[in-house]
Amino acid sequence: MIDTQQAKALLASADLIHSAETVAAAVSRLAAEVTEKLADTNPVLLCVMSGGVPFAGQLMTQLQFPLDFDYLHVTRYGQDTSGGALSWRAAPWTSVKGRTVLVVDDILDEGLTLAAIHERMLQLGAAACYTAVVADKLNGKTKPIRADFVALTVPDRFVFGFGMDARGAWRNLPAIYAMKEE
C-alpha cells in the first residue's frame, strides 16, 4: 500500500494508455458482443474480485437479458507488481452446475489465473464457461487461455486504472494508465 502523496505522484508520472471515453466505448462494444453470444443462456456472471468490479458493474448495466450475478476471489498478485502463487480466497455461492458462466476480470496478463478459474468452473459442472477481460496484455508470451471477449489491449507494461491497481491504489480510475518505465 502506498500513501496518498505517493499515489498522486505515481499517477502524475504515468502514461495514459486508454482514456475514459475509449474504455467506456470498448465496454459498450463488448456488451453487444456478449449479448449476441449469451442473451438466450441465462448465464451466471462471475466477477473476479477485486479488479473485475468496475468492469462487471459497467458491463452488467448494458446487458439487456436475465442473468445471475456472483463473485469469486482468486489472485496471484496481492500488493505486488508481479505474479506469485495462486491464492483462492472465495468461491462463488451460486451453483454453476449445468449453467453457462461468464467470468469477468480486469486483465489477461500471463493467463494463469483466468485459466485456473476457467478450469475450476468446468470441474464444478458448468455447461460452458466464457471469459471477458477489460485488457489483454500484449506481452508476447504464450498464454494458457485466450479470453472470449476482450475490450482493449495494453502494452507489456505495468498498467492500472479501471479495476487494476498500482500498489493498492487507483482501481477507481475510469481510464487506463501505465507506470513510467524505469
Is 109 a catalytic site residue? yes
**What CATH number is associated with residue 151?**
3.40.50.2020
Residue 7 falls within a domain, yes or no? Answer: no
Residue 46 falls within a domain, yes or no? Answer: yes
CA atoms within 13 A on the CB side of 61: 8
User: To which H or E segment does residue 16 belong?
Assistant: strand 15-18
Q: What is the spatial distance between Cα 173 and Cα 90, in angstroms, rounded to a whole number?
A: 25
Residue 28 falls within a domain, yes or no? Answer: yes
In the prediction, which pLDDT does 77 show? 55
Catalytic residue, chosen from 105, 109, 136, 165, is 109
Mean pLDDT by 10 residues, the chain (182 residues): 93 98 98 98 96 97 97 72 70 95 96 94 97 97 96 97 95 96 74
pTM above 0.75, yes or no: yes
Residue 166 falls within a domain, yes or no? Answer: yes
User: To which H or E segment does residue 31 belong?
Assistant: helix 20-38
Q: What domain range is 90 assigned to?
A: 20-78+85-178
Domains contained in the chain, number: 1
Residue 15 falls within a domain, yes or no? Answer: no
